[in-house]
Each structure stands twice: as C-alpha cells, then as structure tokens.
Amino acid sequence: MINKILHGDCLERMKEIKECSIDLIYLDPPFFSNRTHTLKNRTQNKYFSFDDTWENNASYAEFLKNRIEIMHSLLKPTGSIFVHCDKSGEHIVRAVLDSVFGSENFQSEIIWTYKRWSNSKKGLLPSHQNIYFYSKSKDFKFNKIFKPYSETTNVDQILQSRTRDIHNKSVYAKDSSGMVKNGESKKGVPLGDVWDIPYLNPKAKERVSYPTQKPILLLEQIINLVTDEGDLVLDPFCGSGTTCVASKLLSRDFIGIDESEDAVTLSYERLANPIKTESNLLKKGRNSYVNADIEALNHLQGVKFNPVQRNKGIDAILVEQFEGSPILVRIQKHDESLSQAASLLAKAMKTKNSKRSILIKTVASDLLEATINFEGLEVISSSALQIAKLIKESS
C-alpha cells in the first residue's frame, strides 16, 4: 500500500490504512463549485473530468465530514492536515474542520496567490485560493522555512538585534552602555501565510491537462513544512498525482487515492517520469521581469497604454484597438537607426496580428534615412524632435 495509488472512494479505501500512521494529509477535494470540470490533454485525444455538483450545503458538508473523521484517526499525534478550497465552499470546509479537529488545533489559513490571465465576468478577478492548516494536537511537527529578505529591508533590520519594550513594541536591543547590539546570524524571513507561487503556465512541461492540477512547488512547500524524509503522506483525492510526485521527489513515502481510473493511470505515469517546472519568477524575483524602458515610455504621457516587458520589438500596447487588433508602439532607442527600429516593430506586428503600429522617432539624423514602408506602421516624431525642428526653422 505504501507508495501506491489506490483506486476507489477514499471513504472506503482509507479504512485499509493503519490508524495513527500518517504524518501529513493533503487534500484538494471538490470545491463545491456545482459544475463538472473537464479538460482535454495536449494531443486532444483524451478527456479528464470530474463532477463537482451538490444538492445543497448539507450534502457537501456531510460528504466532507464522513471522510475527514477517518483522516483524523489516520494521523499521528504529531501529524497535520492541509485542506485546499476556494470561496465556493471555504465556510463549509472550515466548519467541518473545526468540528472534527477542534478550533484549538487550527494553525493557519494559507492564501495561495497567483496571477492568471482571464476575461473575468462582472466582478473582481479571482487570484487566490485557500489552504486550511490544522494539526491533530499541539505537539505537531513543524519545520521553519525562511525566505529571502525583500528589497526594501533596511540593513539594520538584518544586522541588529531586536527586543520588546514595556509596551510590547519591537525596538532595537541595546547593551549596558546604550549601544545597539548586533543580532545573531539570521536565515531570512520566516515563511508567512501568503504564498506567492505561480500557477502552472499552460505550456509548462509539468502540466498534464488535468482539471485543477496544482504545481509541484506548492506541494513541496507544504511537505517540507511539516514532514521529514521517510515520513508518510496521504492524498485521498490525488487527481493527477501531484502530491505523490512531490513526495517522491522529497524522499517521503506516500499513499494516493482516487475514484477515477484515468487519474490513477495518469498518477503512475507521472511517478514513472517526474517532471517539475521550476519557476524563474521565484528564482529571480518579480523585479527581474520588469525591464520596460520607463524613460522611453514618458513619450506616451497622456495616452492610455500598457507597458510591455521582455519584448525586443514593442514598448507598449495602446488600450484602444484598431479594427479589433492591438495597436503596438515602439520608441526609437538612442543606439539604433530608424530602419532598425521599424524592422523590429514590423516583425512584432506579424507575430501579434497587429494591423496598426506607431514608431516614435527620437533621434535626429542629418544623414539620408531609408524610407520606412511597412503596411500599417506609422512613424511620428517625438515632442522633443518637433520642438527642435521648430526652433531650427525659426532661427
């Protein structure tokens, strides 16, 4: 049973597992979304689907409670449970967990936040999900995880020791002579309850086109937080097998359960060939992706536009469109000719299906310039060039 994926309803299959034997349970159950989730795989020859429709709140709560009560009995006294949910059913999930584990064993509500492109219906764009963290007892296993300091952290906050004053306010600690004391070696900032972990890109190698697939990086963080190598992890709704794959990569034992034969087969395929997509965003930080030329974009003051990052041909895209296609903008750089800038912009027009683009000329040239003749590409002079031209003509 260890390091296996079991087929069937977890309500029954969990009864085969020894009580007090599990170190971590992670579950991503149906979300109470009241719809059927379906996705095709990349070759378009197979559907992955599961039903998430319910008669009412009570039927969903009963479904969860019957299973979570068994999960409670399977956990070691030092074990923990992490339950994934969203706004649809989070209030029901929290009530069930309080009922089974006791509100005193609630540890954290983790907010998994991410960026996703979507043409959202009327209302705010959903950009997070919830993960409830409960322990079986107060004697639960917990491994501190540290993250790098932010770019705005003052060096004194890293080097100097802090303490609490009589008002419980955090202040710098001082020695008997009144000098600020140096702090002990610091590993970074302790992990908080808001986790900025990117959602899987549709083109990520890790993605298997299973509905609600979660990134391995998310599961690795949970596993590292409350288990050690050799510990046993259970996922009773294992779906595409992400929890089991993450456990294997981290040298933990695992048990997965799913009532879909397709999901069981897919999980075994992933375990045989684990693929994890590393996040450049997490490695390099968000600022590494911010390379828009702010000075150049000043030429667009007064116009509504979106700056473009990491693109050689485009500096901005206007909010307004032309005949249903984007209007691309490029500002000529100081070290390039007008024809070079036009060629880069014209190439971008083809790849972005743009019918109209604007090239802002910023470099005056006394040399004979090549004629710019790309369909839909218009060249205009910057304000500075226009002013310089007026001054020259009037002198």
Residue range 30-40, pLDDT digits in tens: 866 555 545 44
Average confidence score pLDDT of the chain: 85
The more confidently predicted of residues 303 and 185 is 303
Which two tokens mark 61? 């709560």
Among 265, 283, 301, identify where a domain stops. 283
Same domain? For 71 and 113 the reply is yes
Bridge pairing between strands 356-361 and 325-331: parallel
DSSP codes of every residue in 331-380: E--TTS-HHHHHHHHHHHHHHTT-SEEEEEE----SSPPPPP--TTEEEE
Confidence of residue 288 (pLDDT cuts 50, 70, 90): very low
Same domain? For 185 and 172 the reply is yes
Mean of pLDDT values over 16-39: 80
Same domain? For 56 and 11 the reply is yes
Q: What is the pLDDT of residue 151?
A: 60
pLDDT digits (tens, 9 = 90+) for 62-118: 999 999 999 999 999 999 999 999 888 899 999 999 999 999 999 999 999 988 766
Q: Are 170 and 162 in contact (CB under 8 A)?
A: yes
Confidence of residue 257 (pLDDT cuts 50, 70, 90): very high
Same domain? For 132 and 50 the reply is yes
Q: Which residues contact 337 (CB under 8 A, 6 or more apart)?
A: 363, 365, 369, 370
Same domain? For 51 and 125 the reply is yes
Same domain? For 266 and 320 the reply is no
Q: What is the pLDDT of residue 203?
A: 75
CATH number for position 32:
3.40.50.150
Same domain? For 246 and 324 the reply is no
128-132, 184-188, 295-299: which is most confident: 128-132
Residue 267 above 80 pLDDT? yes
Q: What is the pLDDT of residue 276?
A: 84
Tell me the percentage of the chain whose pLDDT exceeds 90: 49
The dihedral sign for the CA sequence 141, 91, 9, 58: positive
Task: State the total domains in the chain.
Answer: 3
Same domain? For 183 and 205 the reply is no
Among 157, 190, 223, identify where a domain stops. 190
Confidence of residue 289 (pLDDT cuts 50, 70, 90): very low
* Residue-number span of the structural domain to which 344 is assigned: 290-394
Same domain? For 196 and 186 the reply is no
| Rounded Cα–Cα distance for residues 26 and 19 (Å) | 17
Same domain? For 210 and 185 the reply is no
DSSP state of 14: G
Among 268, 283, 298, identify where a domain stops. 283
Same domain? For 210 and 316 the reply is no
Indicate whether this model's pTM tops 0.85: no
| From 47-56, 267-276, 301-310, 381-390, the region with the lowest mean pLDDT | 47-56
Same domain? For 159 and 214 the reply is no
